């Protein structure tokens, strides 16, 4: 007799769809098969049973342009569970002059006891020097094996020059780290912003003009070149345009370990949103793009050249977004997304068939688990893995409304969108967190994860 058995559902792990039963003992999956019995049983007739989604890109309580992103670890992780996300990875912040350790310790203290799902953080650095190098080894001992850098935001003190980036890539290779990069051409973007400002072109419609597609294609090709030369692991975050994919794919076919993440906003939204009266609510960096770029990303998920889908969850309240004063430079950049990650990703891929849905499931589960050193414990449905499971109703049609979501913000970029398929029950390490759309979990029940080195995602390439 097991603690909990889920029966009647179609188990979809991104590789196959089978009507298995799943037995849970304590925090782990104990068995997968038929004729299993449990002290408690959940009947999932007509539903899919998925591995819990892993969101490797969130920004809880992030200060930006005078505002702070509205979700903290408590509210954001609870909303995550409503959306079928059972693991999140957020970022440390680094004060000028610091290495990695103080920021990691601060951020872990913030997350501890507050986060309802399992969690980790990425290291992050604005520069590369001996202190950052030494702290990589310390961070790895803490189970942190990824580090974020920027090729943009020079004026905010965030941008790494190419030499620092190259030497960081070498050090990360030696330390067993994945280097994650916000890849935009920082210097060109600053020049374009200044030129638009001089011409008085500060409406939000000019935001994408200040960061055109080539300002993402160029740095992606550049960081791929540097990572390939350094034989380092590279992961480009929030890729917004299909045009940037060929450089990654070509390098990977030569054996380089270079991968990309995209986000639902780049799969569902296009730059026509900036013409709306609330267009500033859609401002994020890189910007949402013309429709053709979206199609390239969708195709990339299906053929495996986009490895993961994550959110860049950075929700501001409507009041914070409205404080921009007609100047796109003053908008707190970012969007809410953690609760809608799973349903939006699968709904975008569903019209392309079951193979596309499977690719989407892999991009939300096994691929982030492997890249961020969480496999085989996370991202899979297998005996011995953590019992992170989602019961997903593929027939439920939901009209998205911010008022019915649980993120700490009062608007959604997807307001009024109708999607078919929604997570109804979420189990995190054997504990039911959300049952039939109702919260039944413990606040702060998430555990800090100890991550290993990156592993290649599952891809046709």
Count each helix (H run) and each strand (E run) in the chain, helices first: 14, 21
Residue 215 interacts with ligand URP (CB under 6 A): yes or no: no
Residue 55 interacts with Zn ion (CB under 5 A): yes or no: no
337 binds, among Zn ion, ligand URP, none (CB under 5 to 8 A by kind): none
Question: Which position among 50, 204, 232, 314 is part of the footprint of ligand URP (CB under 6 A)?
Answer: 314
Q: Residue-wise over 74-91: b if at least 16 C-beta within 10 A, else e?
A: bbbbbbbbbbbbbbbbbb
Question: Which position among 59, 252, 321, 378 is part of the footprint of ligand URP (CB under 6 A)?
Answer: 59
CB of 182 to ligand URP, least distance (A): 5
Closer residue to Zn ion (CB): 75 or 284 = 284
Number of residues that bind Zn ion (CB under 5 A): 2
Closest CA to 108 of 450, 456, 423: 450
Question: Residues 169 to 228: which contact Zn ion by CB under 5 A?
Answer: 182
The SS3 assignment for 355 reads: helix
Residue 284 interacts with ligand URP (CB under 6 A): yes or no: yes
Question: Residues 317 to 356: which contact ligand URP by CB under 6 A?
Answer: 333-334
Closest CA to 417 of 432, 407, 405, 431: 405
- Sign for the CA dihedral angle at 56, 260, 264, 47 comes to negative
Residue 312 interacts with ligand URP (CB under 6 A): yes or no: yes
Residue 207 interacts with ligand URP (CB under 6 A): yes or no: no
Q: Which residue is nearest to Zn ion (CB)?
A: 182
Closer residue to ligand URP (CB): 69 or 425 = 69
Closer residue to ligand URP (CB): 285 or 359 = 285
How many residues make up the chain in this entry?
461
CB of 408 to ligand URP, least distance (A): 16
Tokens 């921009």 sit at which residue? Answer: 324
Contact 288, 205 (CB under 8 A): no
Number of residues that bind ligand URP (CB under 6 A): 9
Residue 71 interacts with Zn ion (CB under 5 A): yes or no: no
Residue 312 interacts with Zn ion (CB under 5 A): yes or no: yes
Q: Residue-wise over 230-239: b if at least 16 C-beta within 10 A, else e?
A: bebbbbbbbb
Residue 182 interacts with ligand URP (CB under 6 A): yes or no: yes
Q: How many Cβ atoms sit within 10 Å of the Cβ of residue 353?
A: 10
Q: Is 201 exposed, middle or buried (0-12, 13-18, 19+ CB in 10 A)?
A: middle
Binding site for ligand URP (CB under 6 A): 59, 182, 238, 284-285, 312, 314, 333-334
């Amino acid at each position: 007799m097991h603690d909990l058995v889920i029966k009647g559902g179609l188990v979809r792990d991104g590789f196959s769809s089978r009507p298995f039963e799943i037995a849970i003992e304590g925090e782990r999956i104990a068995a997968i098969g038929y004729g299993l019995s449990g002290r408690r049983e959940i009947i999932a007739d007509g539903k899919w049973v998925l591995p819990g989604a892993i969101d490797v890109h969130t920004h809880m309580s992030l200060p930006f342009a005078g505002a702070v992103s509205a979700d903290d670890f408590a509210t954001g992780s609870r909303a995550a569970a409503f959306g079928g996300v059972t693991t999140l990875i957020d970022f440390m912040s680094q004060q000028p002059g610091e290495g990695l350790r103080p920021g990691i310790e601060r951020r872990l203290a913030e997350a501890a006891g507050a986060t309802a799902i399992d969690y980790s953080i990425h290291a992050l650095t604005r520069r590369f020097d001996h202190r950052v190098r030494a702290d990589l080894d310390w961070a790895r001992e803490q189970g942190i094996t990824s580090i974020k850098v920027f090729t943009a935001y020079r004026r905010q003190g965030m941008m790494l020059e190419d030499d620092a980036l190259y030497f960081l890539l070498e050090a990360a290779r030696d330390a067993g780290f994945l280097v994650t990069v916000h890849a935009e051409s920082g210097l060109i973007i600053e020049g374009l912003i200044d030129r638009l400002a001089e011409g008085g072109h500060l409406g939000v419609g000019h935001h994408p003009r200040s960061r055109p597609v080539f300002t993402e294609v160029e740095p992606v090709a550049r960081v791929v070149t540097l990572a390939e030369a350094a034989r380092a692991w590279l992961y480009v975050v929030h890729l917004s345009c299909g045009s940037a994919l060929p450089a990654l794919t070509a390098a990977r076919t030569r054996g380089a370990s270079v991968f990309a993440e995209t986000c639902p906003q780049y799969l569902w939204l296009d730059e026509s949103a900036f013409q709306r009266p609330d267009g500033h609510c859609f401002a994020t960096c890189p910007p949402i793009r013309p429709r053709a770029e979206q199609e390239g990303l969708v195709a990339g998920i299906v053929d495996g050249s986009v490895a993961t889908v994550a959110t860049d969850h950075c929700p501001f309240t409507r009041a914070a977004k409205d404080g921009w004063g007609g100047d796109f430079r003053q908008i707190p950049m970012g969007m809410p997304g953690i609760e809608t990650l799973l349903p939006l990703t699968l709904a975008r891929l569903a019209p392309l068939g079951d193979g596309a849905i499977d690719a989407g499931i892999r991009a939300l589960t096994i691929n982030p688990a492997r890249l961020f050193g969480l496999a085989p414990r996370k991202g899979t449905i297998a005996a011995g893995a953590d019992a992170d499971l989602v019961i997903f109703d593929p027939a439920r049609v939901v009209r998205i409304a911010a008022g019915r979501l649980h993120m700490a913000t009062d608007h959604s970029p997807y307001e009024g969108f109708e999607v078919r398929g929604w997570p109804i029950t979420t189990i995190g390490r054997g504990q039911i967190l959300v049952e039939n759309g109702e919260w039944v979990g413990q606040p702060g029940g998430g555990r800090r994860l100890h991550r290993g080195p990156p592993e290649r995602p599952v891809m046709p390439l």
